[in-house]
Amino acid sequence: MTEDPVKLYVVVMAILLCVLAFVAYSSYQDAAAFEAAIERAPREAKVLKEYASEVNRLCDQLSRSKLRQGEVTLIEQAANRLGVASSSIGPAGEKRLGRRGKQQRWHFNFGTGASKPLTRERLARLCQAVELDSQGVLKTLEIEMFRITGKDVPDPGKEDLVTTDVYRGSIIFGKNTVE
């Protein structure tokens, strides 16, 4: 084969032609992919702008909220401002929401121990204050109330009026997050 330079030239040129054809074909495929990406870019840019504005709204909401000191501190500050004492306050664990979501929870117990029982109105004001102070990040998830019965409470089924309207129980505040 090396004896005939024309054959060697033809073989080398055939190999170069194959390499050139492969490079041209792969370049054509890459160019088609780039063209498709360029056509999709305006639509995807619009979606990214929507996501960016949503993230900015969430960042603004968090910066306006008083959550920088922590959730327990925010709940305590709202309770202190309203004159509501708690018997205990702290984390109540997490709850899974689907595959990627979770719900962080905090409990606020009242009406037991050194804290006084509360009326429904004061409980509602506390829940409202926590939600407003957190800019809607913390939500009231559960309220468990038990009426404190006094000496003047009638037996069930009696026609007398109930004179007490104070309760003991717990409130669960929480926020949803995505992993």
Task: Identify the pLDDT of residue 2.
Answer: 59
pLDDT the model gives residue 159: 57
- Assess whether 113 and 167 both reside in one domain: yes
| pLDDT given at position 162 | 57
- Where helices occur in the chain by DSSP H, the ranges are 5-64, 71-82, 120-133
Residue 22 shares a structural domain with residue 53: yes
* Whether residues 86 and 33 fall in one domain: no
For residue 44, the model assigns a pLDDT of: 92
Question: How many structural domains compose the chain?
Answer: 2
**Does the predicted model carry a pTM greater than 0.85?**
no
Q: Tell whether 159 and 109 lie within a shared domain.
A: yes
Q: Which residues, 6+ apart, have CB-to-CB distance to 104 below 8 Å?
A: 71, 91, 94, 174, 175, 177
Model confidence pLDDT, tens digit, residues 128-177: 999 988 888 889 999 998 887 666 555 666 655 556 678 888 999 998 88
Pair 24, 90 in one domain: no
**Do 81 and 143 share a structural domain?**
yes
Residue 94's φ and ψ, nearest 5 degrees, are: -125, 155
In this predicted structure, what is the pLDDT of residue 1?
52
**Do residues 31 and 109 both lie within one domain?**
no
Residues spanned by the domain of 9: 1-64
- Domain-terminating residue out of 22, 45, 64: 64
Whole-angstrom distance, CA of residue 17 vs CA of residue 21: 6
- Chosen domain end from 13, 30, 64: 64
Phi/psi for 90 (5° steps) reads 170, -175
* 75 plus 109 within the same structural domain: yes
Q: Quick one: 151 and 136 in the same domain?
A: yes
Distance CA 46, CA 50 (A): 6
User: Looking at residue 167, which CATH number applies to its domain?
Assistant: 3.30.70.60
Low-confidence stretches of the chain (pLDDT < 70) are: 1-2, 149-164
